[in-house]
Structure 1
Amino acid sequence: MTTRAATTTATAPATPETRAAHPLRAEAVRGFAPLAGAAVLLMLGVLLAASAKNWQGGWAETAALTHDALLIALPLAAAAGCWQGGRERRRRTEELWGTAVRAPLSRLLASALPVALWVAVGYLVAVALATLATWPYSVGDHPHLTRVPGDTAALMAAALLGHLVGRAVPTHLAAPLLGVVGYAGLGMAARQNALDALDPAAFGVAGTRPVWWQPLAMAAWTLGLALALILAYAARRRATALLPLAAALTAGALLVQGGSGLWRPDPLAHRQVCDTSTTPAVCVNARYAGMLPEVRAALAGITGKLHGVHGLPARWSDRGTDPRADEAPLPTLAPFGWSVVRGRLTHPDQYAWEAVAALTGHGDCENQPAPVPLADEAVQAYLAPNPSQSRFDALDAKGDAAARAHLRESLAARAKLAGMDERRRRTWLSGYFAARADCAPEGVPSL
């Protein structure tokens, strides 16, 4: 009876607690792989935090920055993979691993995949944090996440390729050298337009979005090449590398043939959102529709003074291109970080003055003399004074005789327009704007 119990105990299956952990799991939760993901997250976090005012609030700006960060993230991922690939050489355990039961491909993937996965996790967490940081300040549009799959796959491919370099190059300096060479190579590729279609870190085209299949093709192109090289290096049947290689070449051919067709115009970039309750109406680009109340408030003092005035443009517009015949251009809201930070105008008075400057220039003709007449200065000073006007006046007061004479005339014109009764001023302004719209400066009423 004792013998039977002993036999039963000896042949009992191992419990989950005593079962050996899978090598891939051990590599993924300990060692260098989590540190590689943390390094990518930290690098992107510092980059995003340092330039927050340039992207917070704009979804296109946020997407552009998280993608452009690949210029630094890809070399970092490659260097991390390279450092992991040279681990056994640094430990001097290459011969010991050569006697292991596991196949070379299994040993390589158990070491390389955790780094690639953690690098991807670090990037995805950074993208998620950037999205959350933009959400409270969003000025319109919606999150642009189309390129994230392709960018994530490119980072994983860079880590896998770096791992192969670390195994093949017998020097401790391989990882930093690969990072430097990778950064320089991506920088040079960015200057070659012919390589943009195949460059995972290529900058996007302003005002456009990639077609839906472009990120999938980019993922197949980068990961296919990495897997093909891994199989050619470590697989027992190296012919298996032909399958991912064929997928990579097919995806690359699609990207190259797609050319400019890979990018489609952003429908919002060419639309306007308007407030027609004022004259002129106030229109902003649909991408920044949330900025309309802010812009309208900045221009409220101007539109109030223009009530009942004729000859005005129909609207202020923010098209990013030359305005139409019945429009005056608004000061640009982009790029963020100058006039707009986190969904707010930084200097509404400066913005209003620039809008008036565009309004008084409505109808400017080509080859027309550049000097601003006294009437323009008076209208600008009445509608929205230049925040720096007092400083300019002080400089003119200390200038030569011509500058002092111009200052006296300008002050007199400003005072005369401001001192008119409302009805007379409205009539004068109507004549002024009608003459400016017709490119007839000689028709501007005198002051």
Structure 2
Amino acid sequence: MTGGSGDRAAGARMARRILWTEIRRGTPPLVALFTAMAMTWMLAAHPESWAGQWTGLSTYLRVSLLILIPLQVAGGAWQIGRDRRARIEDLLSTMPRPAWQPLVAAWAAVTLAGLAGLVPPLVIAMILVGLRASHVGDGWWWPLLVGLIALPSAAALGVLLGRFVALRLVAPVAGVIVYLGLAVPVYLHETRWTGLSPVIGYAGPADVWPVGYHAWQAGWLVALGAVLLSLAARLWWTAVVPGALAAALVVAAPAGSGVGTDAAALALVCTDRTPQVCVTRVHAFLLEDIAGPVEAQLARVAGVPGAPVRAVDVLAREQDERRDDVWWISITTQAGVTGGPAHPEWLPDVRELIYDTGCPSPADPTAAQTLTTASEHLAEELTPEHEQWVGRVLAAARACDQDELRRLARS
């Protein structure tokens, strides 16, 4: 028994030594560096997608997989391809150790490098989110977990390609092909097959998925990674069980993601002054940042008959909901890392009221010009006469009355 324990300890030390050797070689450090740079760039490019939002950060990692997965595939292919070109496999076949062990060590090294590059910018982003977030959705971490599971599977695909494709440029070519393969489903209508990709093209601030859907995706990615790694190591029989599981999960693929809405995220949080500004709870951290400019615009149209008396986050709007007393405002682009509107030039503009009526744009050029003129008046201080005229234009626009708009053009 002591001898067996000693053999296992020696085997563990050997495995650690091999893994450490693989990590120190050229490819894993580069994978870690490029992954850290890519994730940092993605976070810096679109802070409005995740700043102050736990669910937003989790789903944005899934968006970022469009870049991160090709990097993992290229890293795995390059690591193994270099060994194949150097004929290290022939050398290792003469040594008393399993032939698959160095390959699995190379896969583990690339996987750990990808995770090591991803974690620092992700942790920093989580700290920044924690400082501002006003809502923590149930199960917000599920998309993040599935995204992390996707990286080992991507590295396994790279190892498989590097093992069997005798092409010096297999790494960059594989990375580009995988990028295109992941990008195409993003632009397709959702089907039962698009869920096989871990990449999310877009997710709204209040979007949530059933736990069962996340569990199915996680199981599919784990089984797929096990199959790819087994095939790369030429462990044909080992691939049977995960292959059968992967096939079963593909057959059982849900008809759609079942994406729903987090009702708690859409609860309104409002200012206690007039005119009132309300945002959804998921955007509550933005309330004081945008309230001042929005209140100023509401005050400017206070004398216009029929003008809204309060502003409400459009996320809380029911489909096709129309309320003359409400100005529906979109602030999804205003989330910033350090506070204050991220894009002041994109703040809601009260001139939108003239066009947000649910009616088609007037085909008559005179009626269309009436709307343009009324919009221009809303951009300036209104006289009592202009207030009354803009009020009549607003009423005609809401009624889709082009004849009245033409008459108002002459008034």
Where does 1:310-325 land on structure 2 (aligned, <5 Å)?
311-313=306-308, 315-320=310-315, 322-325=320-323
Deviation of the 1:185 alpha carbon: 1.9
* Higher deviation after alignment, 108-117 or 238-247: 238-247
Give the corresponding residue for 1:225.
224
Q: RCO (CA 8 Å, sep 6+): is it higher in 1 or 2?
A: 2
In 2, the alpha carbon distance for the partners of 1:203 and 1:89 equals 36
Q: Is the 1:190–1:203 contact (alpha carbons within 8 Å) kept by the matching residues of 2?
A: yes
Q: Choose from 104, 107, 111 the match for 1:116.
A: 111
Q: Is the 1:218–1:252 contact (alpha carbons within 8 Å) kept by the matching residues of 2?
A: no
Task: Give the TM-score, by structure 1 length.
Answer: 0.70
Give the corresponding residue for 2:247.
249
In 2, the alpha carbon distance for the partners of 1:24 and 1:49 equals 36
For residue 217 of structure 1, what is the amino acid of its counterpart?
A: W
Give the corresponding residue for 1:188.
184
Q: Is the 1:54–1:336 contact (alpha carbons within 8 Å) kept by the matching residues of 2?
A: no
Q: Larger radius of gyration, structure 1 or 2?
A: 1
Deviation of the 1:92 alpha carbon: 2.9
The count of aligned residue pairs is 382
For residue 157 of structure 1, what is the amino acid of its counterpart?
A: S
Where does 1:35-434 land on structure 2 (aligned, <5 Å)?
35-52=30-47, 55-136=50-131, 138=132, 140-142=134-136, 144-193=140-189, 194=191, 195-206=193-204, 207-234=206-233, 238-254=236-252, 256-261=253-258, 263-268=259-264, 270-275=266-271, 277-279=273-275, 281-302=276-297, 311-313=306-308, 315-320=310-315, 322-336=320-334, 343-345=339-341, 351=347, 354-355=349-350, 357-359=351-353, 369-372=367-370, 381-382=380-381, 414=383
Counting aligned pairs with the same residue, the percent is 26
Secondary structure of the equivalent of 1:96? helix
Task: Give the TM-score, by structure 2 length.
Answer: 0.76
Deviation of the 1:268 alpha carbon: 4.8
| Unpaired segments ≥5 residues, structure 1 | 1-15, 384-413, 419-424
Deviation of the 1:178 alpha carbon: 1.2
For residue 71 of structure 1, what is the amino acid of its counterpart?
A: L
Q: Is the 1:82–1:165 contact (alpha carbons within 8 Å) kept by the matching residues of 2?
A: yes
In 2, the alpha carbon distance for the partners of 1:184 and 1:363 equals 40
In 2, the alpha carbon distance for the partners of 1:302 and 1:196 equals 43
Secondary structure of the equivalent of 2:100? helix
Secondary structure of the equivalent of 2:75? helix
Q: Is the 1:273–1:283 contact (alpha carbons within 8 Å) kept by the matching residues of 2?
A: yes
Deviations 1:308-354 (A, max 9, x none): 987554532222564432443344212348xx7854236769847x2
Q: Is the 1:78–1:161 contact (alpha carbons within 8 Å) kept by the matching residues of 2?
A: yes
Deviations 1:72-100 (A, max 9, x none): 21111011001111232233333221111
For residue 259 of structure 1, what is the amino acid of its counterpart?
A: G
Give the corresponding residue for 1:411.
none
| Unpaired segments ≥5 residues, structure 2 | 1-9
For residue 82 of structure 1, what is the amino acid of its counterpart?
A: A
Please give the root-mean-square deviation of Cα atoms over the aligned residues, in Å.
Answer: 4.0
In 2, the alpha carbon distance for the partners of 1:105 and 1:277 equals 69
Q: Is the 1:81–1:162 contact (alpha carbons within 8 Å) kept by the matching residues of 2?
A: yes
Q: Is the 1:105–1:234 contact (alpha carbons within 8 Å) kept by the matching residues of 2?
A: yes
